[in-house]
Structure 1
Amino acid sequence: MPDDEEPHSIRIHLDRFLAERGMTLTELSSQVGITVVNLSVLKNGRAKAVRFSTLSRICEVLRCQPGDLITYEPTKPGP
């Protein structure tokens, strides 16, 4: 992990919704209006932020709530 990248405990569940909807990342990208690269960064947990307008559009397209897509999973402390 690069030095400037802070670890976080937020998980994005785009894969699950895409699979349930039979939709590709490219299709979602087209319908949401952001690049596949930016969606991929979000999907893979590498995003540092997400605009509410983007989150709103993703929820609209996937017919879900923000809490369905994003969860907090605390990291376990080391030994």
Structure 2
Amino acid sequence: MAIVVRLDRVLVERRIRSRELAAHVRITESNLSLLKSGHVRGVRFETLSRICELLECQPADLLEYVPDANE
């Protein structure tokens, strides 16, 4: 996968628990866990906006493009 999710890192930096973020974003903790692990095929802009709102960050702080070795 070329997109790496850095949400865990930002949560630690902001000292915010996953439970608090899930409640703010209005998603289940299990869905947030899937997002943090990168096991989702997409993220709604509304969800991304709510995450950035609470964490006071930009989408680029959460997502990083890393080229695959085959590219």
TM-score of the aligned structures, taking structure 1 as reference length: 0.83
- The CA distance in 1 between the partners of 2:60 and 2:12, in whole Å, is 18
Equivalence for 1:35 = 28
- The CA distance in 2 between the partners of 1:61 and 1:40, in whole Å, is 17
Q: Secondary structure at the match of 2:69?
A: coil
Unmatched segments (≥5 aa) in structure 1: 1-7
Q: CA RMSD in A?
A: 0.8
Alpha-carbon deviation of 1:14?
Answer: 0.7
Query: Match for 1:52 among 29, 45, 49?
Result: 45
Deviations 1:4-59 (A, max 9, x none): xxxx2101111111101111111110111111111111100101010000000000
Number of equivalent positions? 70
Amino acid at match of 1:29: A
Compare CA radii of gyration and give the structure with the larger one: 1
Query: Higher helix proportion, which one?
Result: 2
